[in-house]
Amino acid sequence: MIHSAGPASRPYYADFLPGAGRREPRAAFASDAPSICLNGRWRCHVAPSVAAAPPGVADPGFDDSAWAELPVPAHWQLHGHGAPAYTNVRYPFPLDPPAPPDENPTADYRRAFDLPGEWAGLGVVLRFEGVDSCFKVWLNGRELGHSTGSRLPVEFDVTDAAVPGGRNVLAVRVHQWSAGSYLEDQDMWWLSGIFRDVTLRARPPGALDDFFVHAGYDHETGRGTLRIDTSAPARLTVAELGLIDVPADGTYEMAVEPWSAEVPRLYRGVLATAGEPGERVPVAIGFRDVTVEDGLLKVNGRRVLFRGVNRHEWHPHHGRAVPAATMREDVLLMKRHNINAVRTSHYPPHPRFLELCDELGLWVIDECDLETHGFAVAGWRGNPSDDPRWRPAYLDRIRRTVERDKNHPSVIMWSLGNESGTGANLAAMAAWVRDRDPGRPIHYEHDRDSAYVDVYSRMYAAHAEVDRIGRREEEPPPDPAADAHRRALPFVLCEYAHAMGNGPGGLTEYQRLFERHPRCQGGFVWEWIDHGIRRRTPDGGEYFAYGGDFGEELHDGNFIADGLLFPDRTPSPGALEYKKVIEPVRIGATDGGAVEIANLHDFRDLSHLAFPWTLEEEGVRVAAGVLTVPPAAAGDHVAVPLPPLPATSGESWLTVRAVLAADEPWATAGHEVAWGQSAVRPRPAAPPRPAATARAGAARDPATLRGVAFDPATGRLTRLGGHAVDGPRLDLWRAPTDNDDGMRAPLAPVWRAKGLHRLRHRVVDIIRADRELVVHTRVAPAGDDIGMRAIYRWQEADTDGEGNGTAALRLTLEVTPEGEWDCPLPRLGVRLALPASFGRAEWYGLGPGECYPDTKRAGRIGRYAMTVDQMQTPYVFPQENGCRDEVRWAELTNPAGAGVRFEGDPVFGFTARRWTSEDIDAARHPIDLVPRDAVYVNLDLAQHGIGSASCGPGVLPAYRLAAEAATLRVTLRPIVRTG
């Protein structure tokens, strides 16, 4: 039974009310008025509970000399006080609203500072940008107030408490848990403290407390309308617009260039107040118009398509205390990966991030600091969203969100929060937003009937459901009126394509649905970055920690590592795949041999791009140039003829790239935006296979060839060209990915139940006949009657000059399933081991990064080389990785250049690593993977797809690997270097 403590026993940190003593919320802005940054080293004491917190800390004379120092901004758990804890849904304390537990770590912060004498006679405001989760403040012993709402700003008027020209002492008591914690269950690390900036701001007479920029745009006339509501009389100057010292609250109309995420045109000006000394406030104005009309979300009169990500604030050292340089790095990385939109999951970000979105161009869904997901565990009993006692807190949070961020042109939708069920408090939030800011639509995903929102939003809807929604043929809600209302709304996937570990798969199919159905206006991949915390082992090894690595009694493991970036902000293969899938220019070939270029931008033409091309034969460049492409408008496409190309005899590919023609604020000239490949000459068909011949005489029994040896008992190859070999043997297993082990119909438990990770190999017969060695085997797990008949046919292959007289072997593997296979296979291929010295890989096929059946759009045909170590993808949680697909040939060599070459007939999947799939399966962090004295090679006929089932849909039918009869053909050719 969920209950609440009685009012008589309720301290401020356990109160339904969000705070007391605070100023009214207002916009975030800079000014030339004096200010003092209070970031830096503070004295800090962390007690295990409120009762254990020291008394008298607000007294200016309190002796804190024995206390440790803690940086502000920071989280105390990342500085040796307590430990981080991660849960996705469940609260890490009893569900007993609004009371926090008695075990409530409480930190007391103290900071002394000098206030200039020149501040005498000025108003003084103390501003906290973010404190987790509840805090009370004193200045010079005077209590100022308290507040909850961790990711939201709070201001206190300290004019009467501050001492200009003297020493001032600021004391802040922060509680890890509070009533506000029940509203902040946001699938992230639970971390506490003053984690955003703290400033003192002087307020001169007549200063601006607040202003609201209204900058509309008429896409039919190209004219903008500007008005600025101000809290005090102010004058406006925007020289570019011809506005020089005019009343700010006047209405001005003029021709303007609109703001969009593609062309983020800002007009910069100044608001100035009267009086002495007065105040000057810089403003950045972006003219744009956001509407929902004709069932579509439009900006400046055009439907927009979100190529978005969900972004939690995260840094592997600092947690949510993200440095300004890292915020800029995030925006630059997003722009460079063709991302055009951000949902600020699940709280407003640091205000500097939104300034960067204005400047560099990203659409933003600005989300309120609200989530009550943990109540789902109790069937939503007691959920605050429909409890009137919580309404002031709900309204307080949305007010502080909207008021702070209302002047950002990048913010085109407000989101009420995330996964908080439904209820009257959310409806009240929506009503308040509509009254305060009718120019922006409202989003909230858990309102499934969309009764009080302006877009229909879903999470992780499968492709088939998105297709139905796009046709406006989705399952109706029970109420016909609600059905009619929702069916008329645009549709957005606020979360999709769960980017956990290896994946996500199925991105291309989603994107085609977004492009096919106007109603489907894109989505936001979950999520931007893995929330790993950098840690070191006693012997100096480095890894990224996830849930459970800090001894939490309740945690959700590595579900916190589900981003497109690794924790150090290295783009994962998923990020590269997403960049390719959502590229705003699509390049292909026409039937007539021309290059077709489609401009998928919403607003921008192609004049900012150049189009270089290359022709490669067998991965080697033979010609290059630059196409002349007309500046096609957004939504148009053009066919561009190719210049004459030189003749080639081998497999040849034309690659056309779209690159920046000049520097942009987010990337330099030459940055690749998009690319396309088309086959100019297909791979020549292999000639018919006559009986293979050696250098002299007829083909021989492979077991008698020079440099070749087979185990007489098992028929396994043990030597080739003088190199030790172990295998190859049929391999059906891969170390399960996060998606294989996901929450939606996970396959890894099925595979384990079938025993695919513990196969046994039985030799049925070994036959030497007709110049070949034939090994009949049965491969099966214990405890079941399913299995695979695997027949290895070894023949001598044609020997080329590289072999120096050593023999090459052609392997034909014929596989036939036996028994009732009611699940797909993880993989189908062979595995072998080669000497550990074979550490250099070269291949011709897809690359340079890993590719799987439904995650290989980013792979391009070419010739690549790297070390075996470089081929590994260091997922925070080890899993299947590193496959290169559609490989024509691959070589593994040692430093002297000797090694083995694998040639496909026609292609194969190629994986090489210094540990086995079983080692990866047993590991929990990459540092657990200890190189063995071998290089393990997988040559795959196919692998099962990747999908997104860690939270989203599973593998689409086209990418399922059924247990069917199949044949793998590959040639193993020794490479022997002499002299």
At a CB cut-off of 8 Å and minimum separation 6, what does 950 contact? 498, 500, 501, 503, 559, 562, 738, 739, 741, 742, 743
At a CB cut-off of 8 Å and minimum separation 6, what does 56 contact? 62
| Residue 636 near residue 618, CB atoms below 8 Å | no
Partners of 967 in the β-ladder? 814
Adjacency order of strands within the sheet including 296-299 = 290-293, 296-299, 302-303
| Residue 634 near residue 601, CB atoms below 8 Å | yes
At a CB cut-off of 8 Å and minimum separation 6, what does 424 contact? 385, 386, 388, 391
Partners of 846 in the β-ladder? 861
Q: Establish whether 419 is a catalytic residue.
A: yes
Report in angstroms the alpha-carbon separations of 952 from 481, 740, 743, 886. 30, 11, 8, 27
| Nearest by Cα to 874 from 925, 910, 827, 912 | 925
| 222 vs 199: CA distance, rounded Å | 41
Report in angstroms the alpha-carbon separations of 849 from 41, 655, 859, 873. 44, 17, 7, 9
At a CB cut-off of 8 Å and minimum separation 6, what does 687 contact? none
Instruction: Provide φ and ψ at 811, rounded to 5°.
Output: -110, 130
Report in angstroms the alpha-carbon separations of 668 from 333, 531, 657, 661, 664. 13, 29, 15, 9, 6
| 817 vs 779: CA distance, rounded Å | 10
> 380 by DSSP, 3-state: which?
coil
| Angle made by CA atoms 737, 742, 744, in degrees to the nearest 5 | 140
Q: Which single residue is written with the structure tokens 């496909």?
A: 904
Question: How does strand 134-139 pair with strand 142-148?
Answer: antiparallel
Annotated active-site residue in 419, 886, 891, 903:
419
Annotated active-site residue in 495, 651, 796, 891:
495
Partners of 889 in the β-ladder? 844, 903
The structure tokens listed for 861 are 């045909």
| Residue 359 near residue 145, CB atoms below 8 Å | no
The structure tokens listed for 768 are 């030497």
| 812 vs 33: CA distance, rounded Å | 79
> 700 by DSSP, 3-state: which?
coil
Query: Can the peptide bond before residue 848 be classed as cis, meaning omega within 30 degrees of 0?
Result: yes
| Nearest by Cα to 574 from 585, 583, 586, 562 | 562
Catalytic residues: 419, 495
